[in-house]
């Protein structure tokens, strides 16, 4: 968010390369942008958030200025080393949703199915709740096709996504999403993870996990991302 760049790190945490969405600039090693850091975030429309690698491309969301559509982009790699090739940058789609909350996480099934989670943000530094949800897309004939809102996060307030989503890669498995007010005092107060079967649904067919194991108090805006490890025996992405 600070400089509009996506950073590639090695397993020691050192910067291998950076990629700037707004200009296509790629650096090997850390960037040396004039005037950075300046204490300000990159302008909306130039600010990547969700980042995920899939099928030989780097997918990322861009936090747009309201009322512009939030969007998902992708860029291929130069080679197996993982450095982005800016000449291949492509806008994959604009969001169909009208709430215009930024997209904070992307999750891919191994066969190409994509989930996108929103995060409710009042401003650059302040997060909120109950204005975001999770959407799914299917890859059809070279395009990502919106499948609607099949995963309803939360009980009384169905726009309670907290910005994280991933798949568990188990046959007939679950989509896991972070959320607020998953169970809202009926009788418990659950904030944390909602696991919903592939195909969709809401809390009525889901598993709910309170992440601090305390089910009497609210934990609003506490939780964010969720990542699940990919088993070694998963079928390779086509």
Q: What is the pLDDT of residue 148?
A: 84
Token look-up 């909306």 returns 44
Q: What is the pLDDT of residue 233?
A: 81
Neighbours of 112 (CB within 10 A): 15
User: For the ranges 81-85, 186-190, 206-210, 229-233, which has the lowest average pLDDT?
Assistant: 229-233
As a whole number, mean pLDDT of residues 30-52 equals: 93
Instruction: Answer yes or no: are the C-beta atoms of 82 and 96 closer than 8 Å.
Output: no
Q: Which two tokens stand for residue 55?
A: 């099928």
Residue 30 predicted with pLDDT over 80: yes
Report cis status (omega within 30 of 0) of the bond before 37: yes
Q: Mean pLDDT of all residues in the chain?
A: 92
Q: What is the pLDDT of residue 232?
A: 81
DSSP string spanning 189-226? EEEEEEEEETT-B-GGGSEEEETTS--SS--TT-----
Q: What is the pLDDT of residue 238?
A: 62
Report cis status (omega within 30 of 0) of the bond before 67: yes
pTM of the model: 0.93
Span 163-218, pLDDT tens digits: 999 998 887 889 999 999 999 998 999 999 999 999 899 999 999 999 999 999 99
**What is the C-alpha to C-alpha distance for residues 177 and 106, in angstroms, rounded to an integer?**
11
Q: What is the pLDDT of residue 112?
A: 76
Give 85's pLDDT tier (boundaries 50, 70, 90).
Answer: very high
């Amino acid at each position: 968010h600070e400089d509009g760049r996506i950073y590639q790190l090695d397993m020691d945490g050192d910067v291998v390369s950076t990629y700037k969405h707004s200009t296509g600039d790629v650096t090997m090693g850390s960037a040396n942008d004039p005037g950075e850091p300046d204490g300000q975030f990159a302008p909306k429309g130039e600010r990547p958030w969700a980042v995920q690698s899939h099928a030989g491309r780097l997918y990322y969301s861009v936090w747009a200025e309201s009322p512009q559509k939030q969007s998902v982009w992708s860029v291929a790699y130069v080679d197996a080393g993982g450095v982005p090739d800016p000449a291949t940058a492509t806008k994959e789609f604009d969001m169909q949703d009208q709430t215009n909350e930024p997209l904070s996480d992307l999750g891919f099934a191994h066969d190409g199915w994509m989930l996108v989670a929103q995060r409710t943000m009042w401003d650059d530094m302040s997060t909120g709740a109950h204005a975001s949800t999770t959407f799914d897309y299917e890859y059809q004939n070279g395009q990502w096709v919106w499948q609607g809102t099949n995963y309803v996060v939360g009980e009384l307030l169905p726009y309670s996504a907290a910005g994280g989503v991933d798949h568990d890669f188990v046959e007939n498995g679950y989509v896991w999403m972070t959320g607020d007010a998953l169970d809202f005092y009926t009788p418990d107060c659950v904030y944390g993870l909602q696991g919903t079967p592939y195909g969709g649904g809401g809390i009525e067919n889901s598993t709910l996990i309170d992440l601090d194991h305390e089910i009497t108090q609210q934990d609003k805006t506490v939780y964010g991302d969720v990542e699940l490890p990919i088993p070694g025996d998963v079928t390779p992405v086509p």
